[in-house]
């Protein structure tokens, strides 16, 4: 299948969501049940299709509004994988972080060029991963699930910094990456999707979480 065909298939999935989405039963703000459709919002986003970062435009999302007089607030219904207030979707972020940390020849600049963004953006992604949760909390959870996976992850952290000693600034990023990857694998995401699966599951559809701030994720911080 060509990249063009893959893009069309991807957009078709999001278009199907738009056509099939049903009106929610209650308002997400006041829990009232008087809701009505409130037009559409047009989005653009960069997503990962195969190994290519693709810029998509004209992504239509339905708007919904609460009719309760004391509320009258509205929000957007988005297909799975389309994050609010984020241009580079989590699949792109995960791919960039993986490339930077696992390939000793990659730099912020080279990864940025491959992902159609600046080196500063890649730096923000790396610092954002470091702030997802405390590495000690992730390691503790992983240790309770699988001692073998925990030890393997610690070895991988060490391996990353033997290959890339100049990247010690991102030690917290590397720890969270390795521990999240191992957790993802134990939860069944597979060897190639562990890290991506974990951040997409934990962060998907959480409003106001961007690469410019450190999110607090209870599911991972406990």
Give the domain extent around 18: 3-77
Q: What is the edge-to-edge ordering of all strands in the sheet holding 74-77?
A: 35-49, 52-66, 74-77
Tell me, yes or no, whether 84 lies in a domain.
no
Q: Which residue, 22, 45, 77, sits at the end of a domain?
A: 77
Confidence bin at 222 (pLDDT 50/70/90): very low
Beta-bridge mates of residue 63: 76
Q: In the prediction, which pLDDT does 125 show?
A: 92
In this prediction, residues 10-35 reach a mean pLDDT of: 89
Whether the predicted model's global pTM rises above the 0.75 cut: yes
| For the chain, percent of residues with pLDDT exceeding 70 | 87
| Separation between Cα atoms, residue 155 and residue 74, nearest integer Å | 48
Q: In the prediction, which pLDDT does 36 show?
A: 94
Question: Is pLDDT at 211 greater than 80 in this prediction?
Answer: no
| Structural domains of the chain, count | 2
Shared domain check, 65 and 112: no
Q: Which residue, 50, 77, 104, sits at the end of a domain?
A: 77
Shared domain check, 101 and 210: yes
Of 98 and 221, the one with more pLDDT? 98
Token reading at 176 = 């969270």
Average pLDDT across the chain, whole number: 84
| Separation between Cα atoms, residue 9 and residue 171, nearest integer Å | 38
How far CA 89 is from CA of 100, 127, 134, in Å, comes to 17, 16, 23
């Amino acid at each position: 299948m060509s990249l063009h065909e893959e893009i069309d298939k991807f957009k078709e999935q999001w278009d199907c969501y738009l056509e099939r989405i049903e009106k929610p039963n209650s308002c997400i703000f006041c829990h009232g049940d008087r809701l009505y459709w409130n037009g559409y919002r047009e989005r653009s986003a960069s997503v990962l299709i195969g190994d290519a970062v693709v810029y998509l435009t004209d992504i239509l999302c339905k708007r919904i509004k609460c009719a309760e007089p004391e509320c009258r607030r509205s929000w957007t219904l988005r297909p799975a994988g389309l994050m609010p207030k984020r241009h580079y979707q989590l699949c792109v972020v995960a791919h960039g972080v993986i490339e930077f940390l696992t390939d000793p020849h990659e730099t912020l600049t080279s990864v940025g060029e491959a992902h159609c963004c600046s080196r500063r953006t890649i730096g923000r992604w790396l610092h954002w991963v470091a702030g997802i949760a405390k590495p000690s909390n992730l390691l503790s959870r992983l240790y309770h699930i699988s001692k073998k996976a925990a030890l393997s992850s610690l070895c991988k952290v060490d391996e990353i910094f033997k290959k890339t000693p100049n990247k010690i600034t991102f030690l917290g990023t590397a720890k969270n990456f390795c521990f999240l990857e191992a957790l993802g694998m134990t939860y069944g995401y597979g060897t190639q999707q562990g890290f991506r699966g974990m951040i997409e599951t934990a962060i998907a559809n959480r409003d106001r979480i961007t690469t410019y701030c450190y999110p607090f994720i209870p599911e991972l911080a406990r």
